[in-house]
Amino acid sequence: MTETRATPDGRSSRWDEHRLARRAELVEATLRAVRDHGAGVGMDEVATVAGTSKTVFYRHFADRAGLWTAVAERVDATIVRDLTRAADSPGGEGGTARSRVRAVIAAYLHLVETDPEVYRFIVTAPIVPPGERPSGDVAAGMTDRIARHVADLVGTGLGADGASPTPRLWGVAVVGMVRATADAWLAAGGADGGQSSDELADDLTRLVWDGLGSLAGLPATPTR
């Protein structure tokens, strides 16, 4: 008996591509709305910026939690990209392990400084109503993904195996500390509060390096 194989449906593939492209467009429109109207933007404002209706958003994302998740994944990818570029820059991987850690911290703070409303939108998720909000820290997923990436960068910079438990925990510790500090710094007015992101990155690097460097048996240095 001859085996019959199903022929791929070209129309279905084209529709899937169109749907993914449309979702990406709506995510970008949401980011523009957040920047225009602040982290507390509502769905009416988001739909207006996108030039469409809320119904279209719910068709693609099911609910506001689904839209927030898609936006968070988009921002997450940007953060990971920027952290990787920072670690691979001459001041990062090309320099000392300490400079690599500082470059990663500075890249995170740079996002907070240059896109504060998007940052607030991600870490507080005001658009997600209580009934759709997951329990616990809504941004925990993003933090965990970034922590795993930072563990690889930090572990490599310190000559450790990024897949082993220790650098993974270091990554969690670094990201947790930097995120908590960034939240407090932003709440205090950011650079307008008296300390620039570069100065804060220097302070955090000294705080991190005295701990990580001693654990890895590396000397502390007062320079970047």
What is the rounded CA–CA span in Å between residue 105 and residue 211?
15
pLDDT in tens, 76-113: 888 888 888 877 776 544 467 778 788 888 888 988 89
The predicted model scores a pTM of: 0.77
Q: Which CATH number is correct for 63-215, 1.10.357.10, 1.10.540.10, 3.90.105.10, 3.90.180.10? A: 1.10.357.10
pLDDT digits (tens, 9 = 90+) for 11-53: 677 777 888 999 999 999 999 999 999 999 999 999 999 999 9
Q: Cβ distance 100 to 208 under 8 Å?
A: no
* Architecture of domain 11-61 in this structure: Orthogonal Bundle (1.10)
Q: pLDDT value at position 165?
A: 62
> Which pLDDT value is given to residue 224?
46
Task: Between 216 and 57, name the one with better pLDDT.
Answer: 57
Average pLDDT of the chain, as a whole number: 80
- Decide if 11-61 and 63-215 have a common fold: no
Query: Number of C-alpha atoms within 13 angstroms, CB side, residue 72?
Result: 25
Predicted confidence band of residue 164 (pLDDT cuts 50, 70, 90): low
Mean pLDDT of 112-124: 90
Tell the residue number behind the tokens 């490599």, with chain if given.
156
Report domain extents, the chain: 11-61, 63-215
